[in-house]
Structure 1
Amino acid sequence: MKQALFLILDEYADWEGAYLSSTLNQSEDWSVHTISLEDTVSSIGGFKTAVDYIIGSEPEDFNLLVMVGGNTWNNDHKKLFHLIKTAFQNNIPIGAICGGVDYLAKNGFLNDYNHTGNSVDAWNDYENYHAKSSFFQQQAVKDKNLVTANGTAPIEFTHLVLELVAFDTSENIKRMMYMYKYGFYHYCEKYGGPF
């Protein structure tokens, strides 16, 4: 079974990973786990979450790292940096949204990738960010083993991460995202009943 690790820091944006985690978790081929620097974190929406793994105790063979945005990504913890650096070095699929992308920019991880985020201008003071020409004003961008997205793009983010990990056929993923974006009744008009 493939394992997805959702990296959530305190004050994480609970809505940004919800479509992706619920889609993966309903598959018999995937298991979803949370990872953080602390054993319990709270979301911006007030959910207290007991995480599955403290960074450093995670399984070595995970198949996807998802960096969920939030208010505390301005973080210099060495274990956090090591986890993300190791994922990049091992070519593990990575999805980063909102504050997670800010962290990647600040630490120089975006320099070899096409990417997006909340605002490239917010990264002007990041000494390790040298890829302004590779920033695209799009909701989400997929390049090599990385998907980046701004904080208003949880559906587009989900779509590209599912494609990145070859979760299903492109057509089936497109249909799932259509329902998320336009709702049940529009889905039925376009594709017929899903059940």
Structure 2
Amino acid sequence: MQPCPLCGADGASLFHEDKRRCYLRCPQCALVYVPAVYHLAPDREKARYDLHRNDPADPAYRAFLRRLMDPLVARLPPGAYGLDYGSGPGPTLSRMLEERGYPTAIYDAFYAPDTSVLARHYDFLACSETMEHFARPGREWHRFLALVRPGGWIGIMTQFLEMDVDFSSWYYKNDDTHVAFYSRATFRFLARRDGLTVDFEGNSVALFRR
């Protein structure tokens, strides 16, 4: 079977299978992931994202993003400089952070692919509803660590897969672009392995101190 795309461990077991694809679970970091053979081609993946309507003026969308922004901002020093990683077709989190006094660059593999921003270092990195799309989350995670200065913060929002979730009926797996599912155990593994601390807010936000 395909090694874990987050930690590289072998020995994954079948976690679930439905009519569209199967899902494996890593024995080391507890990531549940979709094997690469089921991933969408990049053009089809982008076509799905093009359907998103992420309007920076939409109060409901802003309220959703505040689930990540508010606890992250509460931990930042004044004027901290950040990166919104996976900013999407309608960058909104970066605008909200700038409105609060935190200048924020953006990067998105499809919509803001300027890689010069990846050559800098930041006081914080925010990644909202993006990690579940990563085909190679281990590579992206190591990039996060390289981008954030010691003492800085990595804020992630993605729906946690917890023990009480009925995976067979879980809505979050039904999006074909969602290929990696994280639990608190997964994030605790990363924190322990990489010498970070991690705090959780609700069932979708993890905040790592570098």
Give the TM-score taking structure 1 as reference length. Answer: 0.37
Give the TM-score taking structure 2 as reference length. Answer: 0.35
